[in-house]
Structure 1
Amino acid sequence: MPLKEAVAQTGPLDIIVVEDHDLVRLELVDHLSGPGVQVRGADDGEVLETLLRQRHADILVVDLNLPGEDGLSLCRRMRHAFPEMGLVMLTARVMPSDKTAGYQSGADVYLTKPANVDELEAVIANLARRIRRRVSNGLQLDMPRQQLTLPAGAVIGLTLFESRLLYELALAPERKLSTEVLVQRLDPRQELPRIRDNLPVTISRLRQKMAAAPGGQEAIKAVRGFGYQLTLATTVRA
C-alpha cells in the first residue's frame, strides 16, 4: 500500500476531500483512511474553511464542480494561504485547457474522473513525500508560534487574538470578511459586544506592528459599511 509506506517515511497525514457528490466523497474518505491517515470530507468551500479552523490539513483533494465557490477559485485561495499544502484536483473536465487552468490555479496534480482510487492513493503518497514549504514574498503567519514574518525577514510576536484575526482574514475569499462574520469567528465564548468593541483597537495595534513592511500600515483596510480586508498576501503555517 503506497500510502502506508509514505506515512512510515513522512509521519501522519491529514487529508480533506472536497466533493459535493455524497457517495463519491464518502467512498474516497473511506478508501484513503487508515493507520496514520486521517481523512475528512467537505461538500463545499465553506465547510472546508470550518474544517481547517478545527485542524490543519496536509493535502486537499478537490473536485472543480462545487456549489458556490468553484474548485479553481478555491484552489487558488488555498495555494496562497497555505503554500506548503498539497493540492490534488479531481474532476470530470478533460480538455487540455481545463488541465492548464488547474495547474495555473496551484494544483500539484490534476486527475480526471472516474477516479482510479489506487492511482489517487499513489499520487497522494508521492505528494506526501515531496511536499516542501514554498517561499512567499508576502507576510508569513506562524500560528503555533504566534509570529508574523515580514517580507524583509523581521519577525513580530503576536497575541493569540491577533493571530486568529489574521488567520481568519488570510483564509477568507479576497482576504475580506464582514464585521459580523469576523466577530463570530473570533468569539468562542459568545462575548460578541466585547469582541466587537475591541476589534478596532486590535486592528490598530496590528497595523502598528506591521508598519515596517511595505504597505504595512494599510495591511488591514476598513471596508466602509462591510468589514475588514487584509491587503497583503499572507501565507499560513497552521
Structure 2
Amino acid sequence: MPDQPPQIIVVEDDPDIRVMVLALLKAQGWTCRGAGDAEELGDALLEGMPQAVVLDLNLPGEDGLSIARRLAALRSPPAILMLTARSEDIDRIIGLEIGADDYLGKPFNPRELVARIRALLRRMTRAASEEAGEVLTCAGFTIDEGARRVTGTGGEEIALSGAEFALLAQLARARGRILSRNYLLDAIHGREAAPFDRAIDVLVSRLRKKIDRPGQESLIEGVRNAGYVLREPKE
C-alpha cells in the first residue's frame, strides 16, 4: 500500500497568500488544508493532526505566537514553519523559543518555502519510521531514538519538541566533539545558515531550559567561533 501524502495546514489570514501557498504545496503532491485564524485551525485539527503547520504570526484574534505555543505543547506536535515580516526579528526569536521549528520572512521565494517544508517533513518522516533506533546515553540522559523519548537520571521523562530532540541527539552522538552551527542547522533543519541566523542559538537556549540543573553550569557548552558541545555534568 503506498504511503499517504503528508498533511499540511496553512494558517494565513490573507486569502490571496493562503490560496497561493495552498496551490504551491498541493502541486508537490501534499494534502493541504487552509485556515484564516485560530478558530478555523481548530476546526481543521478536528479532521486530524497534520505533519506540518505553516503559520503566519499576524493573525486576527489569537496571534501566531500563541498558536505556536499551544501546538508545541502537544504530546506529538507537528512541525511548525512560521511566516513573518522581515522587520519582526524579535517575533522570530520568540517564535523559535516557544517551539516553532523554522521561520521564513515575507516576502518569500516559493521555491525556498517548498524546500523548508520538505526539510521539516523529511525530519518528521525519519522520526516516525524509526522502529528500533539507537539508544544513546550521555550527560546523564537516556535518549531513545526509536521511541523519541528522553529520560533523566531519575527515570523522569523530559518533554522535548521535535527540533529539541534532534539537537540533543546530534550532540549526544558527537560524544564530546564540538559541532558547528552550520552543521547543526543542516542536520536539523536541512538548510544552510543565512547571515545573522540565530535559529540554532535559540534552539540551544530552549533545550538548556529543559535539561540543565538549577544552580549548575549548562550541559551544553558554547565554544566561541566553533559551535556547541554536550558535556558530562560535573560532580
- Could you tell me the TM-score, scaled by structure 1's length? 0.50
Q: Matched residues in 1 for 2:77 and 2:114: separation?
A: 19
Residue 55 of structure 1 is matched in structure 2 by 48
Equivalent residues in 2 for 1:31-180 (5 A)? 31-34=24-27, 36-131=29-124, 132=127, 135=149
For 1:89, what is the secondary structure of its paired residue? strand
Cα shift readout 1:117-176 (whole Å, capped 9, x = no counterpart) = 100100011111112376489xxxxxxxxxxxxx78xxxxxxxxxxxxxxxxxxxxxxxx
More helix by share: 1
Partner amino acid, structure 2, of 1:110: Y
For 2:46, what is the secondary structure of its paired residue? helix
Q: Relative to 1, partners in 2 of residues 1:136 and 1:48: Cα closer, same or farther, differing over 3 Å?
A: farther
Structure 1 or 2, whichever has the larger Rg, is 1
Q: Tell me, which stretches of 5 or more residues in structure 2 are unaligned? A: 129-147, 158-235
Q: Matched residues in 2 for 1:35 and 1:121: separation?
A: 8
Q: Matched residues in 2 for 1:61 and 1:29: separation?
A: 10
Q: Which one scores higher on RCO, CA 8 angstroms, separation ≥ 6?
A: 1
Residue 173 of structure 1 is matched in structure 2 by none
Partner amino acid, structure 2, of 1:97: I
Contact 2:37 2:61 survives alignment (8 Å): yes
Q: Relative to 1, partners in 2 of residues 1:35 and 1:24: Cα closer, same or farther, differing over 3 Å?
A: closer
Partner amino acid, structure 1, of 2:54: V
Partner amino acid, structure 2, of 1:53: L
Partner amino acid, structure 2, of 1:32: L
For 1:97, what is the secondary structure of its paired residue? helix
Superposition misfits of 4+ residues, deviation over 6 angstroms? none
Q: Relative to 1, partners in 2 of residues 1:78 and 1:84: Cα closer, same or farther, differing over 3 Å?
A: closer
Coordinate RMSD, CA, aligned: 2.4
% identity of equivalent residues: 41
Q: Tell me, which stretches of 5 or more residues in structure 1 are unaligned? A: 1-7, 138-150, 153-238
Q: Matched residues in 1 for 2:69 and 2:23: separation?
A: 27
Contact 2:8 2:51 survives alignment (8 Å): yes
Cα shift readout 1:185-214 (whole Å, capped 9, x = no counterpart) = xxxxxxxxxxxxxxxxxxxxxxxxxxxxxx
1:90 deviates by 0.4
Partner amino acid, structure 2, of 1:45: A
Partner amino acid, structure 1, of 2:25: L
1:18 deviates by 0.1
Q: Matched residues in 2 for 1:116 and 1:46: separation?
A: 28
Contact 2:84 2:92 survives alignment (8 Å): no
Q: Matched residues in 2 for 1:126 and 1:86: separation?
A: 10
For 2:7, what is the secondary structure of its paired residue? strand
1:95 deviates by 3.9
Q: Matched residues in 1 for 2:115 and 2:15: separation?
A: 23
- Could you tell me the TM-score, scaled by structure 2's length? 0.51
Q: Matched residues in 2 for 1:63 and 1:93: separation?
A: 12
Contact 1:76 1:105 survives alignment (8 Å): yes
Q: Relative to 1, partners in 2 of residues 1:116 and 1:35: Cα closer, same or farther, differing over 3 Å?
A: closer
